[in-house]
Amino acid sequence: MEAISKELLAGNRRALARAITVVEDGGEEASALVRALYKHSGKAHIIGVTGSPGVGKSTLVDALISECRKEDLKVAVLAVDPSSPFTGGAILGDRIRMQGHTLDKKVFIRSMANRGHQGGVSLGTYDAVRMLEASGYDVIIIETVGVGQSELAIAKTADTTILVLMPGSGDDIQAIKSGIMEIGDIFVVNKGDLPGANKSASEIVASLELNKFTNDWRPPVIVTVAETSQGLPELWQGAKDHRKFLQDSGELTRRREQRIEAELAEIVADLARRNLKDAMKSSGDIRKVLKEIVALEVDPHSAADTLIAKLFVGPS
Amino acid sequence: MEAISKELLAGNRRALARAITVVEDGGEEASALVRALYKHSGKAHIIGVTGSPGVGKSTLVDALISECRKEDLKVAVLAVDPSSPFTGGAILGDRIRMQGHTLDKKVFIRSMANRGHQGGVSLGTYDAVRMLEASGYDVIIIETVGVGQSELAIAKTADTTILVLMPGSGDDIQAIKSGIMEIGDIFVVNKGDLPGANKSASEIVASLELNKFTNDWRPPVIVTVAETSQGLPELWQGAKDHRKFLQDSGELTRRREQRIEAELAEIVADLARRNLKDAMKSSGDIRKVLKEIVALEVDPHSAADTLIAKLFVGPS
């Protein structure tokens, strides 16, 4: 791990790729890497891009990379799919669209899937962001495939969350109804050349008027055509404005505290799971409890109360 | 909770609905209900139905209910959506299709979503199944919306998992490639009136030949047209045969042990999360750790190691 850390800090892409694989897998090796590199993290602007399938997130991200590159910023994309073996193909297809940047040494694109890490894909994502930061990336875009609960959790990893909608899909209405609006720091109506784009944008603006904001940031609503980069300079400026707002208002620290709190809960939960798994392998007593539960002699909740005391008293 | 338990055991539907809401929410009340009712669980045939959106799962489940009702069995359906505020609408639409059974007092249909229960939707599903069993349901069908990781986890809650595919979607090939075949105890090629149904079925049969089976069950591949109930008697017979196989071979107990083991891990993880959350509220020390992490003075993994020792030593 020490060699990888050193090369990663020096900007070596292969070491970076290897490190992300390690943190995706979780466990002791992942923890060791994070311990070594944590103090080099925390500097990038982390941008989450989320929205339903088909709204053009990947093309938008591609265009956003170009905006960052105009300022010679190092940009990384983590395309996160918290679900499914079945959608794996779709993600790969999306990645191919970003080929325009594959020869650019200051762009790094990586798909992350759930590699069986029990803690889900979020823990791996937190740590992958740290690896990218330690490797000198200025902007890290986390693109999620859908807008499910786990995608929302991942979006919260970001400093700035961009919620992407398209005209006429009804997503805007559903987003307004479902309260998903609250996670957006910036709203994009992509495919702005389709009929109804301005109407969708106005509806979003109107619904935002009704929101109670907990701070002084008013989310901009930006109409884009990602394929021709229309609206992209405005989007990138909006992202930079938001980042400046976060820093000036102290909101950045508050958000990072919330994020770390959520992460700690997941790490602790993951440790608990792993402790139990190890104990199951080595302890006849604990396997006996399992049989008693199946035989309906004791219920799982009572059993868990007893187990948790046994698991954590003693060596940490 | 005691009144609810009593009425639920007597078959009262309103008490059942209330109990499922309680276990969905998790926490102490949920644990209390499970403790009270656990010994009345474990008797139903639990059938998981999974597959990509659009293959006709809901119509198939509807037709399967009819088969069970021919034998006067009490049937419950849990339609589980582990994801998304955005797909909530779709689920409701699906439910409406099952209206044919809404007046039948021996059919109970319920959508379950992730109601913010930190442990995800799986813990609630395990316990909802128990509530249904205690209330006298003979067959419990767990229908999942997609085939993501969480859906697969939920499918594993079942005794018998039915994997639904349709002709020409390419799903069969993807399923074969992704190793998802392993979770199927019965394969259904639905929409069997579309071209290529028999070809899809043959491909699945061929790929099953290549599998190494860990036991003596050979998954049948059944072509159905759910809308006209074609192939449904064969499907229901297949499910009953599988259940008999599980019982006769001792596999039922083995599966339930695996399931309880997975559940215990989730309960323990959930307790760990909740302990941490409570401690965050009440302990200045722990909030101080949070600030140190944000300030990059200590990394989250090292902090978690220290915290977990503090959290669990002492009162369980």
pLDDT of A220-278, one tens digit each? 999 999 999 999 999 999 999 999 999 999 999 988 998 898 889 888 888 888 888 88
Q: Which residue has the tokens 């103090």?
A: A39
In angstroms, rounded to a whole number, what is the distance separating the alpha carbons of residues A108 and A209? 38
Give the span between the Cα atoms of A166 and A189, in whole angstroms.
5
- Alpha-carbon distance of B147 to B166, in angstroms, equals 14
Residue A311 has pLDDT above 60, yes or no: yes
Write the DSSP symbol of residue B219. -
Measured in angstroms, the CA of A272 and the nearest CA of chain B are apart by: 5
Average pLDDT score over residue span A194-213: 85
Test the A interface: residue of B46, B114, B268 with most A CBs within 10 Å: B268
Chain centre distance of CA B102:
22
User: How do residues A41-81 score in pLDDT, each as one tens digit?
Assistant: 999 999 999 888 788 998 999 999 999 999 999 999 998 86
Q: How many whole angstroms separate alpha carbon A38 and alpha carbon B300?
A: 9
Is the Cβ–Cβ distance between B293 and A260 less than 8 Å?
A: yes
Q: Which three-class secondary structure state does DSSP give residue B45?
A: strand
Distance between first and last Cα of chain B: 23
Q: State yes or no: pLDDT of A130 exceeds 70.
A: yes
Range 206-245 of B in CB contact (< 8 A) with A = none
Rounded Cα–Cα distance for residues A301 and A298 (Å): 9
Q: Would you state the structure tokens that stand for residue A247, as one six-digit string? A: 């820093």
Chain A nearest C-alpha distance from B91 (Å): 14
CA of B277, closest CA in chain A: separation in Å?
Answer: 7
Average pLDDT of the segment spanning A288-316: 81
The verdict on a CB contact (< 8 Å) between A83 and B273 is no
A vs B: CB pairs below 8 A: 201
The domains of chain A, with CATH numbers, are 41-249 (3.40.50.300), 263-312 (no CATH)
Return the ∠ at Cα B21 (arms to B17 and B25), rounded to 5°. Answer: 170
Task: With beta carbons less than 8 A apart as the criterion, state whether B254 and A290 touch.
Answer: no
Interface test mutation site (partner B, options A176, A283, A294, max chain B beta carbons within 10 A): A294
Q: Judge whether B207 and B254 are in contact, CB under 8 Å.
A: no
Judge contact between A11 and A135, C-beta under 8 A: yes
CA distances to A106, A126, B98 from A103, rounded to whole Å, are 9, 26, 53
* Number of CB atoms found within 10 A of residue A28's CB: 10
Residue A89 has pLDDT above 50, yes or no: no
With CB atoms and an 8 Å threshold, state whether B265 touches A271. no
Instruction: Give me the pLDDT at residue B315, please.
Output: 41
Confidence (pLDDT) at A178? 61
Comparing C-alpha atoms, which of A126, A271, A25 is closest to residue B306?
A271
Say if residue A93's pLDDT is above 60.
no
Element (H, E) at B186: strand B186-189
Does the CB of B54 have a partner CB in chain A at under 8 Å? no
The A residues from 123 to 162 touching B (CB cutoff 8 Å) are 126, 146-151
Tell if the CB–CB gap between B148 and A290 is shorter than 8 Å.
no
Q: Which residue, among B184, B236, B226, B191, has the nearest Cα to B208 in the 3D structure?
A: B184
Per-residue pLDDT of chain B (316 residues; tens, 9 = 90+): 789 999 999 999 999 999 999 998 888 899 999 999 999 999 999 999 988 878 899 899 999 999 999 999 999 999 887 554 433 333 444 455 556 677 788 999 988 865 544 445 678 889 999 999 999 999 999 998 665 666 667 667 899 999 999 997 666 666 665 666 778 899 999 999 999 999 999 988 888 887 766 678 999 999 999 999 999 999 999 999 999 999 999 999 988 998 898 889 888 888 888 888 888 888 788 888 899 999 999 999 999 888 877 776 544 3
| Residue A213 pLDDT class (50, 70, 90 cuts) | low
Query: Binning pLDDT at 50, 70 and 90, where does residue A283 land?
Result: confident
Radius of gyration for chain B, computed over Cα atoms and rounded to the nearest angstrom: 22
Alpha helix stretches (DSSP H) within chain B = 2-9, 13-25, 27-37, 57-70, 88-97, 120-134, 149-155, 171-178, 197-210, 232-249, 251-282, 284-294, 300-312
- The structure tokens listed for A207 are 């619904």
pLDDT at A171: 63
